[in-house]
Amino acid sequence: MLLDKPNTLEINDQRLWDTLMVSATIGPGKSTGLRRLALSDEDKKMRDQFVRWCVTAGCKIAIDRVGNIFARRDGQDASLSPVLMGSHLDTQIAGGKYDGILGVLSGLEVIRTLNDRNIETRRPIEVVCWTNEEGVRFQPPMMGAGAFAGAHEIDWVLSQTDDEGIVFGEELQRIGYAGETDRNPADIDSYFELHIEQGPILEEEGIDVGIVTGGFTSFGAQLIMKGEHAHSGPTTMKQRKDALVGAAVIVAKVNEIGWDYEPKGRATCARIDVSPNKYGIIADHAEVTIDVRHPDPDLADEMYQKALALIPVASKQANVEIALVKEWSFGNVGFNPDMVNLIRSVASDLEVPHKHLLSAAGHDAYHLSEIAPTAMIFTPCKGGVSHNENEHIERSYTIPGVNVLLNAVLRRANS
């Protein structure tokens, strides 16, 4: 049957919470959070658990070549394209229990709720787990969604390596998620992603739902400095080619760019890797990752150009060669107005306090927005803390957003 008033539906919040708490035991971190890096044993264990849950909920599973998992609940009309909802199940190195995970498991809860009530939809509905959203082991972030949306060549993704030289494609095979599904991204009706805000605004203002209208434009780059291995004593200052100094100049000056554009602009080098990283030895190799973000695309570009202009400066100062080996960009998107309006009208009907927001973080939804009508729902998180084991959410302010997701997906799937 089709409901006359789909906006009256509510999820089973206890079941969602129990499911989140099972996930919270898979790949525990040092304290209260998770360490579930993409394509690790922990990632495999979580994927297996997710697939079991989806199969139990009656879904058909499809896995594509980069390991994205699609769990499909059939609709009445198999010729119609599906409504997708999801996020990611991998975490940061010292990550929380909810970043990404809440979006995927809320999608599962939507399907379970429809099953409970024997509700059929016109369109199929799918819950998706995108591979390697965090970009901790393999860069860039949002890799699976990017490959799906055509931003990255699949063979290129499969050839990427982690710090130990382990190849993405081989690791995907090892954990059993190198799928063969080759689906056409154009066959998607729409994509919804629910995610914790990862910022303080909703909690501070006591608003349960953020309707994301777009993202901060963000640029990333990976630099490799090539210096010369030498004794730190006998080697004169003029002789040395110090890769660590090259990296340090970049790190300090990128930070200054952030300060020049604050409070809206942000710039950092989140990662530095130096070798041999030993006492008494000048480093011959260093890697640095640049990350700049601004809500205004022109200013984000200006910041990024200033960051790139540091390469010859640092190269000269440290007497090293610096190669720009990888670049990426995301966030310069405006989400689909129809989808944004749909979420807003559902939130109004459910009398859930809501406001429009831009996201400063990267999300799989950015890639999806290039190929299908896309929108995001933010729910609050304590103190805006994320990418941290202390990331925390309260049931009271999370469930309203999941109910908005449920009803928005249902309306879209019946349209």
For Zn ion, the closer of residues 43 and 99 by Cβ is: 99
In angstroms, what is the minimal distance from the CB of 91 to Zn ion? 9
For Zn ion, the closer of residues 33 and 100 by Cβ is: 100
Binding residues with Zn ion: total (CB under 5 A): 2
For Zn ion, the closer of residues 195 and 285 by Cβ is: 195
Q: Please state, as a whole number, how many other Cβ atoms lie within 10 Å of the Cβ of residue 132.
A: 30
For Zn ion, the closer of residues 100 and 227 by Cβ is: 100
- Token pair listed for 402: 């999941």
In angstroms, what is the minimal distance from the CB of 113 to Zn ion? 23
In the chain, % helix, strand, coil (3-state, to 5) comes to 35, 25, 40
Q: Site mask, Zn ion, residues 91-110, x = CB under 5 A?
A: --------xx----------
For Zn ion, the closer of residues 192 and 261 by Cβ is: 192
Q: How far apart are the C-alpha atoms of 225 and 242, rounded to whole Å?
A: 9
In angstroms, what is the minimal distance from the CB of 205 to Zn ion? 22
Q: Are 126 and 69 in contact (CB under 8 A)?
A: no
Extended strands (E) in 229-364? 230-231, 266-275, 281-282, 285-294, 321-330, 354-359
For Zn ion, the closer of residues 100 and 246 by Cβ is: 100
In angstroms, what is the minimal distance from the CB of 100 to Zn ion? 4
247-306 positions binding Zn ion, by CB under 5 A: none
> Which of 275, 376, 288 shows the shortest CA–CA distance to 334?
376
Q: Please state, as a whole number, how many other Cβ atoms lie within 10 Å of the Cβ of residue 192.
A: 30
Q: How far apart are the C-alpha atoms of 220 and 179, rounded to whole Å?
A: 29
For Zn ion, the closer of residues 189 and 197 by Cβ is: 197
Which residue carries 């198999």 as its tokens? 78
Parallel/antiparallel/unpaired status of strands 125-130 and 69-73 = antiparallel
In angstroms, what is the minimal distance from the CB of 351 to Zn ion? 28
For Zn ion, the closer of residues 100 and 169 by Cβ is: 100
For Zn ion, the closer of residues 168 and 366 by Cβ is: 366
Q: Site mask, Zn ion, residues 337-366, x = CB under 5 A?
A: ------------------------------
Query: Which residue number has the CB closest to Zn ion?
Result: 100
In angstroms, what is the minimal distance from the CB of 328 to Zn ion? 16
Q: How far apart are the C-alpha atoms of 343 and 201, rounded to whole Å?
A: 19
In angstroms, what is the minimal distance from the CB of 366 to Zn ion? 12
In angstroms, what is the minimal distance from the CB of 135 to Zn ion? 10
Q: How far apart are the C-alpha atoms of 69 and 92, rounded to whole Å?
A: 20
Q: Tell me how long the chain is.
A: 415
- Token pair listed for 360: 């400063």
> Which of 191, 203, 223, 202 shows the shortest CA–CA distance to 333?
191
In 100-128, which positions are buried (b, 16+ CB within 10 angstroms) versus exposed (e)?
bbbbbbbbbbbbbbbeeeebebebbbbbb
Extended strands (E) in 123-200? 125-130, 190-196
Give ∠ CA 346-101-201 in degrees, rounded to 5: 60
Q: Which residues pair with 218 in a beta bridge?
A: 293, 330
For Zn ion, the closer of residues 27 and 227 by Cβ is: 27
In angstroms, what is the minimal distance from the CB of 102 to Zn ion? 9
Parallel/antiparallel/unpaired status of strands 354-359 and 209-215 = parallel
- Token pair listed for 92: 């940061």
For Zn ion, the closer of residues 67 and 100 by Cβ is: 100
What DSSP string runs through 71-88?
Answer: EEE--S-TTSPPEEEEEE
In angstroms, what is the minimal distance from the CB of 195 to Zn ion? 6
Q: Site mask, Zn ion, residues 52-91, x = CB under 5 A?
A: ----------------------------------------
In angstroms, what is the minimal distance from the CB of 104 to Zn ion? 10
Binding site for Zn ion (CB under 5 A): 99-100
